[in-house]
Amino acid sequence: MVGYKEVNLAYITKRFFQKHLKKTFKILIDELDISIHEAQKIVDRKRVFLNGVLHQHKAKKIQGEIEVIVFKPNPIGLNPIFQTEDFAVFEKPSGILVHPRKLETVQTLNDDIKYLFGRDANAVHRIDKGTSGLIVISKNKRSEVELKQLFEERKVYKEYIALVDGEVKEILNIDEKLLHNLASSKIRIKMHIHKDGKESYSRVEPIEYDRMNGVTLVKVIPKTGRQHQIRAHLFHVEHFIIGDTLYGLDENLAEEYLDGNMSFKRGAELTRSKRLLLHSNRICFEYNNIKYDIRSKINIKKEFYENCKF
């Protein structure tokens, strides 16, 4: 092994010289001490270079100068608020991604997960970058499978708190299908109410109406777990979440913000907050015959109003 070259704070390039012909995946297994699945995934993600050229043949025998881009945890300094032998629960801050989207992503929650619990630890569900609050982490492959199954089978009770535009006077049961990447929309990542979409259900309960600022603090219980479900459903009933630059703005302004052509300050002024005011507040489930009821430790109403631009 020759050494390491920094790619960014989360990824490094590991270099070594392979003297004799050997299958690519076997070289990665031996040099990186990883499984065959992980080795194949690294090749599929275009992170292997042979003599300076991208190499995408997993089983081909190769030799020479090999470079592999690998993940190197660079923790933010987050710690779980609750943990057992098999899983942990973090409070993710708003503005932090769960996983890196690309090599240029600097720090994510994944850095702290891997740093604290090793490479087999993973988030078993996701929350948006702008959303804060509780997220469950498996510490090993067995618990990952079991916990993900609980989420997929809708055996996990999730409760969110949001600050929304307008007065929510009564409980709203929103049963509207959601479709991703509608052809007529300018924004590819946006979810839309559409008859051809996936079944989606959210229950919205008003907590407190702020008459002076025209906003309502609400509790939201998503019975399904679609991408952007709470944001899209609240937008549909004309109570968009304060601070939502995707659903709280018209598509032209949202596109301008997403393309980086609008300043953070301008976005905060238009949406009335410096962050998305949505928080994962409570998670309940049964695991290994033990019932868990985990609640956020943050005073979220105070956090929300500290970020508002009223």
CA within 13 Å, CB half, 302: 3
- Asked about 128 being catalytic, the answer comes back as yes
What gap in Å lies between CA 238 and CA 205, rounded to an integer? Answer: 15
What gap in Å lies between CA 173 and CA 166, rounded to an integer? Answer: 17
Residue 229 one-letter amino acid: Q
Tokens 């087999």 — which residue?
120
Per-residue burial over 227-257, b if 16 or more Cβ lie within 10 Å, else e, is ebbbbbbbbbeebbbbbbbbbbbeeebbbbb
Residue 99 one-letter amino acid: H
Which of 111, 128, 165, 244 is the catalytic position? 128
Q: For the chain, what is the radius of gyration of the CA atoms?
A: 22
Task: Return the active site residues.
Answer: 128
